[in-house]
Chains A and B, each alone.
Chain A
Amino acid sequence: MRMIAFAASLLLSTPVWAQDSAALVDTAITDHILPGFTSLANASEALKSAAATDCRSDSEALRTAYHKGFDAWMAVNHLRFGPTEADERAFALAFWPDTKGFTPKSLSKLIAAEDPVVADPAEFSEVSVAARGFFAMEFLLYDDRISQLGDDAYRCSLIQAVANDINRNADAILTDWQSTYATLMRTPSPEGPYTTDLAAVAELFKALDTGLQFNEEARLGRPLGTFDKPRPRRAEARRSGRSLQNISVSLSSLEQLASILSAQSPSPSDNLTAAFESALSHAEELQDDPVFAGVSDIQGRLRVEILQQYIGNIRDIVLQELGPALDVTAGFNALDGD
């Protein structure tokens, strides 16, 4: 009879052998989500102080604080649900890709008008997301034109306003996680955003998959363009030399999330460990091309395409092995559409 039951469960195609979904969610919150957003709040606090102390665009202390803050964001930027989506916080922290050049356009407009909106944090939080967050800061610190544009004193106030706004959003996300959202996710209820533990697992699974997809299709796909028309200028954060760094930090963090989610599924877990290791060690080998300038020649392009392929392999394992093991699917995401 046990054989019969076993065969029947295979036919039902849900091989859920006593999966403890609540434990997966709890570990993800304790070991991945809360530490990640705590680091972001701390790093953005440091960025705010650095800008208050020295707001010159070539200030070493300010640039270092910018990089640390951006690293901290990259480690959590796949967690796009709940607190990051309230009040458009994630968009305000990082608006990219910017296909129509909204960031330089809106920064130029503020600087040209010397818009007094920079003096009031509440009013500044209503400004276009393109003029806020890490990508606006990158233009203000590293873009040849924007970093010199207009009046120095006004640009200084703008840099401080952007740093304060980043810190305000990072704090708000952390506070929401600590005060309410961690509990909502740990204790499903009919009224909450998650009706079951499995629904919360599905949210984390979707975050993992979408994070991988974004690295593959946007961070690598955009500069790769097509073989005939590579687009190196579309590499993310190329002005501050962070294109590869963003992917490396994001992948390391996604590896941690994947390892938490696969803790109860030995086979996908081993395959995921190996696949992440291949991708991360290949990223290491690409260190001599930090902004993917090499996509324009055949050899350089091949190296970047290989990284993209390694990330695609991770995603295949996530969708085809981990998803069925957890009994969840990726569903629709923001990258659908065109």
Chain B
Amino acid sequence: MTRHFLTTSAAVLALTAPAFAATKADVVANYADIAAAKYEDSLTTTKTLQAAVNALIENPSAEALHNAQGAWLASRVPYQQTEVYRFGNAIVDDWEGKVNAWPLDEGLIDYVDADYGGPTDENPLAALNIVANPSFEVAGETIDAADITPALLESLHEADGVEANVATGYHAIEFLLWGQDKNGHNHGAGDRPWTDFAAGDACTGDNCDRRAAYLKAATDLLVSDLEFMAAQWSADGEARSTVTGDADAGLVAILTGMGSLSYGEQAGERMRLGLLLNDPEEEHDCFSDNTHNSHYYDGLGIQNVYLGEYVRVDGSLVSGPSVSDLVAEVNADLDAELQGKLSTTMMSLGRIKTAAESGFSYDQMLERGNEAGEALVMGGVNGLVDQTKSIEAAVKALGLDSLAFEGSDSLDNPDAVFE
């Protein structure tokens, strides 16, 4: 009996754990290498933005503002491709809110149009205007904001516990560089005049020195935040050792990141909701009208993590063993299906990008009754939803399902306090 039992269980083990050509350890190591490259690229391009912001502040001009805007747009290309690292990696997710929080009540930061409205049910600080006020109250406490420093902005981020109080990160900087987009569903981005940063009598919008100080503090803070995250993925970084220390858990992190970003976050919160609300501000990069690129590079990040290859901002390629290789080993059809779906999504997101770049911008697509726009956006949503089903199948095919979903459950229910 015992001998038979051993024979049977050995056979079962052999069936359930085939020898992978690409080892799981290689795959998670390559995943960490790609993360390191993406965050380093995000850091490099943000340092370029920092230089452009400093130049704008020292010597304000239309050209200097334009250069800073261009640098911001370039910095978004690698950063958006990192978003696929968020949901599976606690180190990234805990940190991400500081750098890419959205949507925001921009009246917290600077002047806004009269029809923006004042404080709301959800947010008493929606129209605070930090730039105009060297001192103000938050939840009954007086804040000294005479010097606008990175530390001050960090302390005001999510002020009063409201997530829409975004004081730091890419979107705060975006608002300072572009201003509100007042074109509604018509074509056109925010149009902040360069004189909002001008000295003396040339200054428009008041408090140009404080606005410049805010922009500088927010940019410096973004650089230091990205330095932190790049270090987490370096040779002895904690984010790297977390995924490489337990390859199965690392694979769960990869697939959780792909599925959560595809479905709940990008397809749902960022794309479908905007259509449902027909609201032109309900787009991810609403001040710069760069939403088509945000979506495109989010999708590309999902695809390149699955395929295990990433093109860096200097054009070089980081590539290695991938989840795709592992899935192909156990189920070649499923791998082909998932690769096909990721490509279909990229085609759909590419259509949105192409249309936006040729003059039909994302906020126009959201307008009530705009059928062409709705079809473009829904193409992306449908692709993302569809690929999520195959990602779930990949989790199962790799035998990670119990691990994946029990793991997320324990995050959802930290402790049974009242048991």
- Name A residues whose Cβ lies closer than 8 Å to a Cβ of B: 1, 3-4, 7-8, 11-13, 88, 91-92, 95, 99-102, 104, 106, 123, 126-130, 213, 217, 225-226, 228-229, 233-234, 305-306, 309-310, 312-313, 315-316, 319-320, 323-324, 329-338
Q: For the complex formed, measure the closest distance between the CB of A143 and the CB atoms of chain B, giving whole angstroms.
A: 10
Contact between B5 and A4, CB atoms less than 8 A apart:
yes
B5-28: contact bitstring with A at CB < 8 Å (1 yes, 0 no)?
100110011001000000000000
For the complex with contacts A91-B276, A106-B277, A331-B395, 20 further pairs of A-B residues with Cβ separation under 8 Å are A3-B1, A8-B12, A11-B12, A12-B12, A92-B276, A99-B122, A128-B368, A130-B277, A217-B412, A225-B161, A233-B122, A305-B418, A309-B416, A319-B409, A331-B259, A335-B264, A336-B259, A336-B263, A337-B268, A338-B265
Distance of B195 from chain A, by nearest CB (Å): 31
Classify the secondary structure of A's interface with B. helix
CB pair B419 A329 closer than 8 Å: no
Please measure, in the bound complex, the distance between the C-alpha atom of A1 and the C-alpha atom of B5, giving whole angstroms. 9
Give Cα distance in the complex from A1 to B8, angstroms: 11
**Closest CB-CB distance, A291 to chain B, in whole Å?**
14
Q: Which residue of A lies closest to B277 (CB)?
A: A128
CB pair B406–A320 under 8 Å, yes or no, is yes
What residue in chain B is nearest A91 (Cβ atoms)?
A: B276
B401 within 8 A of A: yes
Interface contact A329-B12, CB-CB below 8 Å: no
Size range of the chain B interface in the assembly: 35 or more
Residues of the A chain whose Cβ atoms lie less than 8 Å from the Cβ of B9: 7-8, 11
Query: Closest CB of chain B to A277's CB: distance in Å?
Result: 16
Contact of B265 among A126, A213, A336 (CB under 8 A): A336
Q: How far is the CA of A88 from the CA of B277 in the complex (A)?
A: 11
Q: How far is the CB of A295 from chain B (nearest CB, A)?
A: 14
Which residue of B16, B87, B164, B405 is within 8 Å of A331 (Cβ)?
B405
Residues of chain B within 8 A (CB-CB) of A331 are: 259, 392, 395, 405
The 4 A-B pairs with the shortest beta carbon distances in the complex, nearest first, are A337-B265, A336-B264, A337-B264, A336-B260
* Chain B residue at minimum C-beta to C-beta distance from A8: B8
What is the minimal beta-carbon distance from A90 to any residue of chain B, in angstroms?
10
Q: How far is B412's CA from A316's CA once the two chains are assembled, in angstroms?
A: 10
Whether A88 contacts B276 in the complex (CB less than 8 A), given A7-B5, A8-B9, A336-B263, comes out as: yes
Contact A126 B369 (CB under 8 A): yes
